[in-house]
Amino acid sequence: MLELLFAVAFSAAPLMLYVPPIRSFNLVVVTIEDLLRQTAVYTLRAYPRIRPAFSRIFNSLVRLTR
């Protein structure tokens, strides 16, 4: 039983490195929200330009396969 306890404890230890402490969790959430907000603005501006480009590429690929 002691071996099982050690196995579970040591297998969960690396996972704790990915979870931020509670006291800094708010900072992590704010940073993620800011990153998503900036990315959304850029994506909305770039999407109308990217869409015709991909459409032309895919249309040319379809014509080449025929």
Q: What is the pLDDT of residue 24?
A: 65
Q: Global pTM?
A: 0.38
For the chain, the maximum distance between any two Cα atoms, rounded to a whole number of angstroms, is 66
The CA-to-CA distance between both ends of the chain, in Å, stands at 66
Give 59's pLDDT tier (boundaries 50, 70, 90): very high
Whether 31 and 23 have beta carbons less than 8 Å apart is answered as no
Alpha-carbon radius of gyration of the chain: 24
Q: What is the pLDDT of residue 14?
A: 67
Q: What is the pLDDT of residue 34?
A: 92
d(CA 57, CA 62): 9
Tens digit of each residue's pLDDT (9 = 90 or more) over 12-56: 666 666 666 666 678 878 888 999 888 888 777 877 888 888 899
